[in-house]
Amino acid sequence: MTKEEALVERDGMQIDGGGPESRQVRAGPAGFNADYLKIYYGKLFPCADIYKWLSYGNDGKHPACDHSYFGRREFSFTLENDIYVRFQSFNNANEMENAIKEKCPFKIDFGPVYSVDPAKRHAYAQAGNNVFTPVERELIFDIDMSDYDDVRYCCSGADVCLDCWPLMTIAIKVLDSALRDDFGFNHILWVYSGRRGVHCWVCDARARRLSNEQRASIADYFRVYKGGENNSKKVTLTGPVLHPFLARTYTDVLRGFFEEKLLCSQKLLESEERCQKILELIPDESIAAEILDRWQGNRRSSISKEDVNKARWEQLKHILQTGKQKAQGLRRCVEEIIFSYTYPRLDMEVSKHMNHLLKAPFCVHPKTGRVCVPIDPDNCDDFDPTTVPTLSELFEELNMSGMRAESENEWERTSLGKSIRFFRSSFLHPLLKSCKEEMESSYSAKLQQSRNSLSW
């Protein structure tokens, strides 16, 4: 790395990134190692597929292709010691691949497609032309497990396990269904973040061209969980009936998950403290006190500890959904409790703004060593984050099969193979087919328009 290359940008400020002598190989508990990472980028990272994806058909020979398209995409590399190299751009797949192999970033983020080459933005600014602006960007969603810490008791922060991970599964089911059924999007990529959450990329042309205001409207469509940290009640469902999307989500996904899985896996009503937390979501104090008296009576009953969560929940539902409480509208409390504990919690700002960065699929998370692999939304119940390939495991798999010379599809020899095959068959190929059809249709329409304008 030259001295000039060592000067990198961090949010527009120049900082010294150091030379090669400052680089250290760090291997954490997960086996994340810069040497392994170099091999990963050299043999396994699907650069060609990433290039085809982000080109959206503009890498072909069709006369409608915009050959500047890929070169206007922002890439951000996070190097060792949290050095951020932003506003990078590449003209083709080779340039991108060579830069990744040379810099060996600990993380790669994709930004928007800008009106001009982001690497040359300063030249446009000096010329006094205010033309550097984002013009396309996938509609993205970021869901982080740490945002659920108030409703899970098995883990907290960045930790996840198989008891709380189903909260991410529910988020995928809810959003994927609505994005397809309510908004008509087809090309949706779900990706494991590598540690504690999931990312969603909506890649339809219509989604990529949404304005910030339109993105904000879609994000608000999904917004149910509201309120500050000091508000115990963050879900309020108003109106005589639920919105059709919320009603469908509640009936088809949330209610069964809460009552059949989450209630017992997180032991939501097993202790006095956890019971009190749910009672705080009931606005009528006298009714909450009645439910608490009933629960305290369970101690003198024959209800086993294994059954207490379900028994107490049934008692709560019975009190809230019958008699005068039903007439007072408290029946909605049951739905609000279930939404509070199960409904997806989105990082709203990520979805609202076109210029947000998001981690690239097939990156390796430096804290866990796990690869950010795609998730099949149709089979997301089967996804297990604890079995996702790690950098060290992939290195061992390559070793066991013999470190051959450079060849195509090295990933076929590793456990990463099924993820890349899924990415290609279920996402990339249908997307590129759609891009080609749209490009040909648009081009034909312009030709016809041109002919019509020349006709007498």
Q: Which residues are catalytic?
A: 74, 142, 144
By three-state DSSP, how is residue 189 classified?
A: strand
| C-alpha span between 257 and 244 (Å, rounded) | 19
Cα four-point dihedral sign 98, 99, 105, 110: negative
Q: Nearest 5 degrees, angle CA 269-CA 272-CA 273? A: 90
By three-state DSSP, how is residue 51 classified?
A: helix
Contact 148, 345 (CB under 8 A): yes
Nearest in space to 91 (alpha carbons), one of 58, 45, 122, 129: 58
Determine the angle formed by the axes of helices 391-400 and 34-43, rounding to 10 degrees: 60
Question: What CA–CA distances, in Å, run from 330 to 208, 237, 259, 382, 438?
Answer: 42, 11, 19, 36, 50
Q: What is the CA radius of gyration of the chain?
A: 26
| C-alpha span between 176 and 260 (Å, rounded) | 22
| C-alpha span between 195 and 238 (Å, rounded) | 35
Contacts of 42 (CB under 8 A, 6+ apart): 101, 406
In the numeric block, which tokens belong to residue 2? 């030259």
Backbone angles phi, psi at 11, to 5 degrees: 50, 45
Contacts of 152 (CB under 8 A, 6+ apart): 145, 163, 164, 167, 266
Burial class, 31, CB count within 10 angstroms (exposed 0-12 / middle 13-18 / buried 19+): middle
Per-residue b or e along 278-296, where b marks 16 or more CB atoms closer than 10 Å to that residue's CB: bbebbeeeebbebbbeebe
| C-alpha span between 10 and 323 (Å, rounded) | 62
